[in-house]
């Protein structure tokens, strides 16, 4: 019998511009995760993107007063209850933005334990792509989330001239990260969902860890 509750993927976008390249990257990652989840199991998939620019004042008020607004409480609950999380920040001064960090400062430091997370960032220069490794990955490691191996960085030059299309490379990184998030979500929430990659999985396939261990044959 199939579970009837939908799988929930929540993307947090800390972009400030309108339109926002950070939001665009969050949308693309959420779509990739949704596509992979829908292809691999029968539960419906709910995707939600939270733009924390809309909660900026509530976040500041919560930091100083200790009390969240109803809207902020609801956003925090959506993040902590998600089956999979996508966290995307613009690079500000060589790190995650202050708003992004402040939002995650308000989440209980045990609430993301074990949660599959894709980390991603946008920036003006590709030279700051290591922000994913020196800032975002340690943040989610501290929160004991399970960050998938592929992180995604999009510099200005990775987007096409229209701003809505992207150049070679970024789409496959997005697909790979979305696929890894889907695998992590299914491994965690659907019993028996772990499986060896099939012939149609291509190079984006992720081999479940227990399968890798079984394949080691240490005798
Ligand atoms: C205050 C500020 C600081 C920035 N610092 C950096 C930086 O250190 N490195 C970088 O690559 N881009 C930097 N940028 C550029 C933004 O990261 C980039 O434009 C981002 O994609 C904007 O996202 P958005 O379109 O979602 O608002 C900075 C932008 C601002 C406004």
Residues 3-18: tens digit of each pLDDT: 589 999 999 999 999 9
Hey, whose CA ends up nearest to atom 30 of ligand 1? 92
The mean pLDDT of 36-42, rounded to a whole number, is 94
> Does a structural domain hold residue 215?
no
Asked if residue 91 has its Cβ within 6 Å of ligand 1, the reply is yes
Nearest ligand 1 atom to the CA of 121 is: 21
Pairing of strands 95-96, 84-92: antiparallel
Q: For position 194, what pLDDT does the model report?
A: 43
> Does a structural domain hold residue 192?
no
pTM over 0.95: no
> Does a structural domain hold residue 203?
no
> Does a structural domain hold residue 159?
yes
> Does a structural domain hold residue 172?
yes
133: domain range?
Answer: 3-187
Q: For position 217, what pLDDT does the model report?
A: 61
> Does a structural domain hold residue 193?
no
pLDDT at 20 over 80: yes
Hey, whose CA ends up nearest to atom 19 of ligand 1? 124
> Does a structural domain hold residue 107?
yes
Number of domains, the chain: 1
Helix or strand holding residue 13 (H, E): strand 7-13
> Does a structural domain hold residue 202?
no
CA–CA dist 129, 55 (Å, integer)? 26
- 156 CA distance to ligand 1 middle (Å): 10
CATH number at residue 115: 3.40.50.360
Tally of CB atoms within 10 A around 32: 25
Is residue 79 packed enough to be buried (19+ CB in 10 Å), middle (13-18) or exposed (0-12)? buried
Of 19-33, 85-99, 163-177, 183-197, which range is least confident? 183-197
């Amino acid at each position: 019998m199939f579970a009837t509750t939908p799988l929930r993927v929540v993307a947090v976008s800390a972009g400030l511009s309108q339109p926002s390249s950070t939001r665009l990257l969050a949308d693309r990652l959420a779509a990739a995760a949704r596509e992979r989840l829908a292809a691999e199991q029968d539960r419906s998939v709910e995707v939600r993107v939270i733009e924390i620019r809309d909660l900026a004042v509530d976040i500041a008020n919560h930091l100083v007063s200790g009390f969240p607004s109803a809207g902020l409480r609801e956003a925090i609950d959506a993040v902590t209850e998600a089956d999979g999380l996508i966290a995307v920040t613009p690079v500000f001064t060589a790190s995650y933005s202050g708003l992004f960090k402040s939002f995650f400062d308000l989440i209980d430091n045990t609430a993301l334990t074990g949660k599959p997370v894709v980390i991603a960032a946008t920036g003006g220069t590709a030279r700051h792509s290591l922000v994913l490794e020196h800032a975002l990955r340690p943040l989610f490691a501290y929160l004991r989330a399970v960050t998938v191996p592929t992180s995604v960085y999009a510099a200005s030059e990775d987007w096409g001239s229209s701003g809505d299309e992207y150049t070679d490379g970024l789409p496959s990184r997005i697909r790979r990260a979305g696929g890894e998030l889907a695998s992590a979500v299914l491994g965690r929430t659907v019993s028996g969902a772990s499986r060896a990659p099939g012939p149609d999985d291509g190079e984006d396939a992720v081999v479940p860890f227990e399968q890798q261990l079984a394949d080691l044959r240490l005798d």
